[in-house]
Structure 1
């Protein structure tokens, strides 16, 4: 990549579950997590997709501004947006010049207070209206088994966003046998309760709709015949996690 250009997997003109209102969604390439239920395995590699400039992506997004109107805007997802900070920062800077709402959907894995990442992240912070933070698992060992990586950066990012007064929606994918244990859900709820800027908790029921992507990429599907969560499991997770927060259930 050159300058602040980004590697883009794809864009979606419309999305209604990735932030407030109707969103123009940008899927970036590259992710260090290998979540067993990942529904975008095509975004794992950093060299896939196509190289785009922030200005070009914004021009594409603004074509749909009449549809998203006042409430909608741009969401950068992935992959992992925090692996492409120069691109996302410049895209959001240009978006703010046009008074466009900006959202990042992140799993938080790259977060660190080490340089040069931290300075680059702080430059992005005031340009971002909302963070959708995916907390995969509260238990460190289970998180590593589920994603291949530590959850320490994820929890550190959540704390930092709270300290900085940045709005968050917490997302948690509900996977039978992995993330449905009541004790783990209570521990996650206790952690969320320490964060002062969480506006919403989203329970995302697992599904296997991405299985065809793994087959196309000649990858084994990690969760095999794992079932979708039952209505009772979903209701219990909502009751534990949401507390006084708005709770929304979306398919994942």
Structure 2
């Protein structure tokens, strides 16, 4: 079972420390979320900096809100990062649900799912070296991984789960262990129905905070502020794992469901959490 670290967004200046400590440990991946109308760092820029400061660990968007972005530019950015890191980029993609993010980009929130499907057709074509079309040629560089970086899709509705089989390489599950099994089974069923070979890669995400009570309280407050717009912030914060036993049991549970990786997402800013989590593993 691979285990990655989801990076906190409260202070971008600390992320180099997080990345170097995670690289020195047994962690497989660095993850970073995406929002526009918020104080988080822009994930592709931030992950490029972190990739340059490391040599082994993968860098992953969790999830990049692709419909808010220009498709041709996203193709070039992702291919560049993938090529320059030797294939260490994992592109987690989703549609987002915040009105303000869509408002400031002029993207109709009602069409974001259809837009993502249209984008994926273009991205896959460009990453394979084909011309953009309409008189425009290819948009390079070619990514390190043939056909483009690994693409994971997040989401919960059937159309999002089927998108994994139509366009992706795997599923990013930001769901509690108690109901992740049904999501995993649905993704695998769509995978078979679309005639895909092998199995989709399954990456689970859980929220954790490990340290003194002051740091745990800080993490809970940061997570609550981030998810207030959902109306379910209290319930989501209540699911944060704060003890070694909870974290170990949850990782074991996801392993039992056949997940390939678990991302331990941190909201507390203390980078000492990296070593504490490594000790848990």
TM-score, normalised to structure 1, is 0.49
In terms of fraction of residues, the more helix-rich structure is 2
TM-score, normalised to structure 2, is 0.45
Larger relative contact order, structure 1 or 2 (CA cutoff 8 Å, min sep 6): 2
In terms of fraction of residues, the more strand-rich structure is 1
Q: Computing the radius of gyration over CA atoms, which structure comes out larger, 1 or 2?
A: 2
